[in-house]
Amino acid sequence: MAPPLIDSEVHGHLWGTDELRAVFAERAKLQGWLDVLVALGDAQAELGIIPAAAAKAMAAEAHIDALDLDLIAAETRRTSHSTLGLIVALQHQLPEDAREWVYYGATVQDITDTWTATAIRTVCGILWRDLRLIEARLLELAQDHRDTVVAGRTHGQTGSPTSFGLKAAGWADEIRRHLDRLREGAPRWIVGQLAGSVGNLAFYDDLGLELRARFCARLGLADPLVSWTSSRDRVAEFGALLALVTATLAKIGTEVYQLARPEIDELQEPAPAGTVGSITMPHKRNPEASEHLATLARLVRSSASVLVEGMVAEHERDGRGWKAEWVALPDACLLTGAALSFALTLVKGLEVHVDTMRDNLGPYSGSERALTLLAPRLGKHRAQQLLQEAMGAGRERRLTLVEALRAADLLDPALEQALATPYAGTAGEMVDAVVRRGHAAREHEPERWPS
Amino acid sequence: MAPPLIDSEVHGHLWGTDELRAVFAERAKLQGWLDVLVALGDAQAELGIIPAAAAKAMAAEAHIDALDLDLIAAETRRTSHSTLGLIVALQHQLPEDAREWVYYGATVQDITDTWTATAIRTVCGILWRDLRLIEARLLELAQDHRDTVVAGRTHGQTGSPTSFGLKAAGWADEIRRHLDRLREGAPRWIVGQLAGSVGNLAFYDDLGLELRARFCARLGLADPLVSWTSSRDRVAEFGALLALVTATLAKIGTEVYQLARPEIDELQEPAPAGTVGSITMPHKRNPEASEHLATLARLVRSSASVLVEGMVAEHERDGRGWKAEWVALPDACLLTGAALSFALTLVKGLEVHVDTMRDNLGPYSGSERALTLLAPRLGKHRAQQLLQEAMGAGRERRLTLVEALRAADLLDPALEQALATPYAGTAGEMVDAVVRRGHAAREHEPERWPS
Amino acid sequence: MAPPLIDSEVHGHLWGTDELRAVFAERAKLQGWLDVLVALGDAQAELGIIPAAAAKAMAAEAHIDALDLDLIAAETRRTSHSTLGLIVALQHQLPEDAREWVYYGATVQDITDTWTATAIRTVCGILWRDLRLIEARLLELAQDHRDTVVAGRTHGQTGSPTSFGLKAAGWADEIRRHLDRLREGAPRWIVGQLAGSVGNLAFYDDLGLELRARFCARLGLADPLVSWTSSRDRVAEFGALLALVTATLAKIGTEVYQLARPEIDELQEPAPAGTVGSITMPHKRNPEASEHLATLARLVRSSASVLVEGMVAEHERDGRGWKAEWVALPDACLLTGAALSFALTLVKGLEVHVDTMRDNLGPYSGSERALTLLAPRLGKHRAQQLLQEAMGAGRERRLTLVEALRAADLLDPALEQALATPYAGTAGEMVDAVVRRGHAAREHEPERWPS
Amino acid sequence: MAPPLIDSEVHGHLWGTDELRAVFAERAKLQGWLDVLVALGDAQAELGIIPAAAAKAMAAEAHIDALDLDLIAAETRRTSHSTLGLIVALQHQLPEDAREWVYYGATVQDITDTWTATAIRTVCGILWRDLRLIEARLLELAQDHRDTVVAGRTHGQTGSPTSFGLKAAGWADEIRRHLDRLREGAPRWIVGQLAGSVGNLAFYDDLGLELRARFCARLGLADPLVSWTSSRDRVAEFGALLALVTATLAKIGTEVYQLARPEIDELQEPAPAGTVGSITMPHKRNPEASEHLATLARLVRSSASVLVEGMVAEHERDGRGWKAEWVALPDACLLTGAALSFALTLVKGLEVHVDTMRDNLGPYSGSERALTLLAPRLGKHRAQQLLQEAMGAGRERRLTLVEALRAADLLDPALEQALATPYAGTAGEMVDAVVRRGHAAREHEPERWPS
């Protein structure tokens, strides 16, 4: 069967990374399920629930490449059972006396949810790594451009000056909060599942809790206090984080997209050699990656919402929400992976046009500064009104702010001097604070996600 | 690269159909793009825009199986251009003098949007066919069970009796409205795209409009009055229909799911031989398909919302929303295809437990009937109060409604007789009306979507 | 209790219109419910189901201003029943012998859904009126600016020239499709509800269908074939239309917002006297209304999705989805009303800066035109490469396109002449077609929604 | 202007609580804005930015009840500025020389975002209190029903037995995670905003950072490192938590709704005296509150998604997403408040029908137990097959499980004894663990949210 878009040979790089496809690809997932089965068998053998030889045989044979994928597919369809195809195929490889001990007392969610937790762990590792790489670069940008003056823009209109470094610091600040969310939330997500048929491990008699503890420990997962077969807040919260993370990346991308307009031309995304912007309009250079970050965030947000909807589950297992996770969670992870990768390339190679930034400030960007200095003398509201009149008159005669103020008899030497340089307030100190805090946090945390 | 879930060999049948995968699979899509390129070339040759020989050469070589997929993928990545890889690969197959005429004056959306319109047309055909098959079966069920008494349930509580046929008629009624929506909306969706770089076909000088007309006609698509490169309401509306359709199918599935509870046991979905409900609980039979319809509807609704978001596009082309369609639209179509297929199997093989339906009515299901008959005599609100008291007392003594009414001195022979048979009001006439209307509509419309 | 935002005295104008608040305000709604009760009583009296005097008494007393709102509220809370408070309050006004005949055989949804249909009808009227007013203005703009050259922009980058009239025509084209959707869909939405307890009108014996017909006719609503108490596709489809409509308005707003950037300055929204852009930055003029259209569209899209979710209802009545309509539908309508009103003001007073549009084309906007003319001579792909080189070299030396072509030895007199004027292809003809079609449609349709 | 639904006199209790309306009501909000203005003035006076007398005058007059609401409304509309109306009205109350110092250097978001943080703090307090009350009751239910046997249900089908206490423990477990999320996330949300025009506090010269620190401290809010005027992840994360919380409450409600079906009758929500289930069907008792929890969760999820969308902001201020918060955030808070209140009443008065729970187990609920005991002897897969055959034969002859096993020659005395009592595995121990953990956590945390 041919692949859909997210996995396309031609366009797949837009919707995922090889690293994440290696987690969620069908064979990888089936291998993950097998690994969980093996861990279960080993823990069961340890407790004497199944013969040690059976566990050993399973461990030896549980390799997806050795199993008959056609058989798995055929049995899955014949039985309409999510894991029975895999079980049957594994049994085919086993000696007669081991066969009975495969999947002993387990149910579908024990295998699939536990695998999900391991997959989430891997994604957490990627998030941690990539968010920190992005943060590092943003802190650099913030520092490098601590005093690079750029027009502050509100409602799409240029206003008072600010610094480009402060923009980057604001981005870094969001990323740092995502790292905090990740660190705090992960213990709720990286949790094994061993519930049995209806959550109480009845199949294992009085060994259930001990078995669960050992099973989870073998896989490096936390032991849940109770089954989460129909407590999907763990997965929903993780999805919500992915939506927040990709929204931040989309925000960065959108800023680049807008400031890369030729009429503004303050930023430009890196264009590797070979990039073709437009075939019919040979002069164009499109902010493809920046734009794409917005696309990815929309899709992830949409998947994340499906995961929250799945929380409203009935009884001890409810396929309606849980099966929706089978699509929504891998999709959200793959798309987030792509977003991280695009964003990293974007911030690494971002071109900052310092001169254009200054040129774009516009003739009246000093108006707030003038207001600050006139207000104590004239009263703020009166100063404001006089300024507005002065600028209105000045604009028609194409005067600069200083000229307009002079024409309106509002200029004094102190004001003139103050307006000679664009004033970005405490932008620099704010940048310093963010950089300091960022570095401090980074020093006290591991570079690699601890798993 | 290994495939994600929607295309899984093992579980892919849950998330799409072969028929729809054949539309949206990577190779099918690329072939679709090639077919659009060929149609463009032919129309251009007809108008003398490109040499006839070049068009002919393109038509001869534009077969995806003959092209080098690795080259397509590599060039797509190298240039970050969505169609350039395909163009280059096609050019490789062409004689020197034809190469220049490939993709002559076209842009990405001309090819991809036009292909999208053809894909939507195919999906419309499948929708038309499957919705009508489902409707046919529902009309049958409605007729067969015109007078099959079943408890009406509101807020999850059993109330007055109704007929199962009326349930089925209500489903058929929704399906018929979807068919109406499909018929009315399709002319807005099955529309070609030839816009050129910014929508005005400037590349083609004064031949643009004529070229567009011929290009669309060759592909059996309507000619848009103006470019829809950033008018995505067409696609968004189509997505909204898919969301509505799958919601109806999910509603049917949910009804079966709930009424298949063993405590209710009024409906059961067909279980093909071989189905395994539960490995640990060998006695269970799960309403897998019914349940799955709810899963599919959630995912489609989520994709549909992404498509609406995409309508808020900037300028003459905006990749943010349009690229999100690349994922959201095929996903929605595949998932809808799966839902139609599951729903069709479900309604075809639905087991209706007529006796249990009657048994489940409960001892007080005649209360509304009693109210009707007592109200003219006692006044409705007084009758209501007396009834409530009578039933309250009766419930404690485990009396039937008739017994309780007798005990409360409310029974007379007419009432007793009226309560002897469950009364489903005009359910039968309502069924007749729906069936009549359904058949009338079906007679005057084609069985196959006319394309 | 004090009002929330949508109804705020201070900011309410942002989230609704007085016209729509008059439909959905509490008292208006309760009056609407009373009107439905009266229509039901009249129809029942006509058929002899209730005494004519009772119906008359109800009609005389069913005025919300005469009823005791505190009593309504108190009884609603005491009984947890949505309409019982209103019924009790009405009964208080009635003579003893009429009291029993209020709400005779009806259930909550009979009253509230029927009222919803009348409210939707009013909203349809507003949509029809405002969309047509917006369309009229857009057709005017399209015609007036048929040949106003403006930079076509794709991916936020300026490309080949197009005409501003074509932009407006594209907007008008979307609006026209919404008018089509409205006309086609309305018969599915403006439909009465008389279902009785579980949908089969059992309370009314064999008079149910006749009663329903007369009840609906009295209110000018279509008679549903079967109950839609749990068939919410009607409402969901209407909500989807509101989401599509507001998305189009948001698209127009976003275009203005972006093109009103001072660096671009091609459009500006009207600023009524008195508007204050920014207190701290006195020189700013913010595109408030344009921006707000995007806000409104997001909220409506979100409500619309809730309505689709509500379709997956269980049994004959399911409060989970239906009660969500109580919030989502009025919200969507109010917000859409606000959007229509803002959009109308926006397009009516839109300032089009024709000169800036031309100035912004940029030095290389003729590149596609050059490509068209060079391609037949050099081959398209070769022409493209040579052009790119010429422009690359030219850009560094700050040459115009003509100069760059001359420097690269690509210029000939025909080309030079062609590049002297910006070329917008068939933009003009496209505008003509849209305007023609728009006027033709308008001539054959009523100005006021026929209800 | 009359109020919409969320604030309805008649139905408002369904969509909010008085406690929360008192936070978000228009006057409360305006008073909140005034309080923020006063705190700003005081901090400014402290630093000598404005005269102490002006600050004092503001503090004395900043009472919403003393201001002219009509003036506020009129000026807001005239200026199209969100806070100017309020400022003007306050200035009217002030002595001449204080007027100039109102709102000195502030912008809209400084006031509104800071107020939002205080409102979020109040909501956090309510969440903390109500979630803990719900948790306390759930822990009680868990303990009380530690060994109350109930059918475990998967896919809507009854399976092996479990305990009702374990259900309640699972709910408590989710609630505890929400408390953790609340505690961890709150420091990111309860943060002041003082940004000035474009985020760098330029108006205040070199006093900006010190002013911000004092301003935030006065309001008990954390000092943000940098402006969050366009960093809306704080608000989006809070909204995500509300969506998760209400989804859990909806899950509890749905469980009650389903188990309250008369065919199941295991749970019933409390019905205060006076409740009327159905007017036409006097015998019905509807799970109104349980059902309504699902309604509320859908609406909150929808609002939460709007908040995430708002994160993709442009530049230093972007009204598109931020203004959507004005509706989506209060709505989400009010609806969550209602959900907490309904849920608390529900779990407090929940009726648990212990006997029916046991009766509903069904004849074959011991099948997993039988499998456990037969598997070591026969092998699991063989045991499973033999069991399925035995039960198939038994079902037709209406045998109990023990009888069926005997008939199939599978019974031995140990098995017969084991099947005499429903076996709920380690449900009891799991309950104990959750209760222990819950109590331990509760002991070490404050009862009231520390603010």
For every residue of C113-150, DSSP letters joined together read: HHHHHHHHHHHHHHHHHHHHHHHHHHHHHHHHTTT-EE
Q: How confident is the model at residue C282 (pLDDT cuts 50, 70, 90)?
A: low
Residue range B246-252: average pLDDT?
98
Residues in D closer than 8 angstroms to B260, CB to CB, are 156-157
Residue range C252-260: average pLDDT?
98
Percent of chain A beyond pLDDT 70?
A: 97
CB contact under 8 A, A384 and C283: no
| Residue B162 DSSP label | E
**The 3-state secondary structure of chain D, one letter per residue:** CCCCHHHCCCCHHHCCCHHHHHHHCHHHHHHHHHHHHHHHHHHHHHCCCCCHHHHHHHHHHCCHHHCCHHHHHHHHHHHCCCCHHHHHHHHHHCCHHHHCCCCCCCCHHHHHHHHHHHHHHHHHHHHHHHHHHHHHHHHHHHHHCCCCEEEEEECCEEEEEEEHHHHHHHHHHHHHHHHHHHHHHHHHHCECCCCCCCCCCHHHHHHHHHHHHHHHHHCCCECCCCCCCCCCHHHHHHHHHHHHHHHHHHHHHHHHHHHCCCCCCCEECCCCCCCCCCCCCCCCCCCHHHHHHHHHHHHHHHHHHHHHHCCCCCCCECHHHHHHHHHHHHHHHHHHHHHHHHHHHHHHHCEECHHHHHHCCCCCCCHHHHHHHHHHHHCHHHHHHHHHHHHHHHHHCCCCHHHHHHHCCCCCHHHHHHCCCCCCCCHHHHHHHHHHHHHHHHHCCCCCCCC
Distance CA A73, CA C29 (A): 57
Distance from CA of B280 to the nearest CA of A (A): 6
Residue range C359-373: average pLDDT?
92
Distance from CA of B72 to the nearest CA of A (A): 7
**The 3-state secondary structure of B354-388, one letter per residue:** HHHHHHCCCCCCCHHHHHHHHHHHHCHHHHHHHHH
Q: D267-268 and D351-352 as β-strands: parallel, antiparallel, unpaired?
A: antiparallel
Q: How many CB atoms neighbour CB C14 within 10 A?
A: 24
Of D10, D85, D107, the CB nearest to C85: D10
B381 is catalytic: no
Interface residues of chain A, partner chain C, Cβ below 8 Å: 154-160, 257-258, 260-264, 277-288, 291, 309, 360, 362, 364, 367-368, 371, 384, 387-388, 391
Q: B149-154 and A351-352 as β-strands: parallel, antiparallel, unpaired?
A: unpaired
Distance from CA of D266 to the nearest CA of C (A): 20
Query: Looking at the predicted structure, is the pLDDT value of residue D381 above 70?
Result: yes
Query: Looking at the predicted structure, is the pLDDT value of residue B80 above 90?
Result: no
pTM of the model: 0.97
Compute the half-sphere exposure of residue C6: CA atoms within 13 Å on the CB side of its CA.
Answer: 32
Closest Cα in chain B to D371: B280
Predicted local confidence at residue D51, as pLDDT: 96
Distance CA A371, CA A76 (A): 73
Exposure of B129 by Cβ count < 10 A (0-12 exposed, 13-18 middle, 19+ buried)? middle
**Contact between D400 and D416 (Cβ < 8 Å):** no
Of B159, B281, B364, the CB nearest to D368: B281
Of C13, C248, C302, C292, residue with least CA distance to D323: C292
Q: Which of B410-424, D171-185, D370-384 has the lowest mean pLDDT?
A: D370-384
Strand partners, B153: B158
| Residue A160 DSSP label | E
Predicted local confidence at residue D7, as pLDDT: 65
Q: How confident is the model at residue B382 (pLDDT cuts 50, 70, 90)?
A: confident
Q: How confident is the model at residue B154 (pLDDT cuts 50, 70, 90)?
A: very high
Distance CA C340, CA C300 (A): 12
CB contact under 8 A, C263 and A260: no
B52-61 and B84-93 are packed helices; what angle lies between their axes, rounded to 10 degrees? 100
- At A103 the three-state DSSP class reads coil
CB contact under 8 A, A69 and B10: yes
Catalytic annotation, pick one of A155, A315, A381, A444: A155
pLDDT tens, residue by residue, A339-395: 999 999 999 999 999 999 999 999 899 999 999 999 888 888 888 889 989 998 998
Q: Which amino acid is at B65?
A: D
Residue range A273-292: average pLDDT?
80
Residues in D closer than 8 angstroms to A308, CB to CB, are 240, 243-244, 247, 301, 304
Predicted local confidence at residue D3, as pLDDT: 38
Predicted local confidence at residue A7, as pLDDT: 64
Residues in C closer than 8 angstroms to A282, CB to CB, are 367-368, 371, 384, 387-388, 391
Residue range B364-379: average pLDDT?
90
Q: How confident is the model at residue C3 (pLDDT cuts 50, 70, 90)?
A: very low
Catalytic annotation, pick one of C13, C278, C439, C451: C278
Prediction ipTM score: 0.96
CB contact under 8 A, A279 and C384: yes
Q: Report the C-alpha dihedral over residues D193, D199, D202, D206, rounded to 10 degrees.
A: 60
Please state, rounded to an integer, the average pLDDT across all residues of chain B. 94
Cα Rg of chain A, angstroms: 29
Distance CA D50, CA C245 (A): 49
Q: What are phi and psi of B210, to 5 degrees?
A: -65, -40
**Contact between B120 and B420 (Cβ < 8 Å):** no
The alpha carbon of A86 is separated from its chain's Cα centroid by a whole number of angstroms, namely 32
Element (H, E) at C254: helix C233-259
- At A10 the three-state DSSP class reads coil
Predicted local confidence at residue B128, as pLDDT: 98
Predicted local confidence at residue B3, as pLDDT: 37
Predicted local confidence at residue D1, as pLDDT: 31
**The 3-state secondary structure of C265-286, one letter per residue:** CCEECCCCCCCCCCCCCCCCCC
CA of C426: how far to CAs of B209, B315, C9, D107, in Å? 7, 18, 49, 47
Query: Looking at the predicted structure, is the pLDDT value of residue D5 above 70?
Result: no
Encoding tokens for residue A36? 């969980």
Residue range B329-351: average pLDDT?
97
Residue range A322-344: average pLDDT?
97
Predicted local confidence at residue D2, as pLDDT: 34
Instruction: Name the neighbours of D, counting chains with at least 3 Cβ pairs within 8 A.
Output: A, B, C
Distance CA B141, CA C13 (A): 51
Residue range A225-238: average pLDDT?
97
Q: Which of A10-24, A304-318, B169-183 has the lowest mean pLDDT?
A: A10-24
pLDDT tens, residue by residue, D386-412: 998 999 899 889 999 999 999 999 999
Of A6, A10, A25, the CB nearest to B76: A10
Distance CA A39, CA C148 (A): 71
C155 is catalytic: yes
Q: How many CB atoms neighbour CB B272 within 10 A?
A: 11
Predicted local confidence at residue A6, as pLDDT: 58
Query: Looking at the predicted structure, is the pLDDT value of residue D136 above 90?
Result: yes
Q: Which of D17, D80, D103 is the best substitution to test chain C (most C C-beta atoms within 10 A)?
A: D80
Percent of chain B beyond pLDDT 70?
A: 97
Interface residues of chain B, partner chain D, Cβ below 8 Å: 154-160, 257-258, 260-264, 277-288, 291, 309, 360, 362, 364, 367-368, 371, 384, 387-388, 391
Query: Looking at the predicted structure, is the pLDDT value of residue C161 above 60?
Result: yes
Distance CA C298, CA B81 (A): 31
Q: How confident is the model at residue D360 (pLDDT cuts 50, 70, 90)?
A: very high
Predicted local confidence at residue D319, as pLDDT: 96
Encoding tokens for residue C293? 């259209």
Closest Cα in chain A to D251: A312
| Residue B222 DSSP label | B
**Contact between A126 and A340 (Cβ < 8 Å):** yes
**Contact between B241 and B184 (Cβ < 8 Å):** no
**Contact between A256 and D314 (Cβ < 8 Å):** no
| Residue A398 DSSP label | T
Strand partners, D154: A317, D157
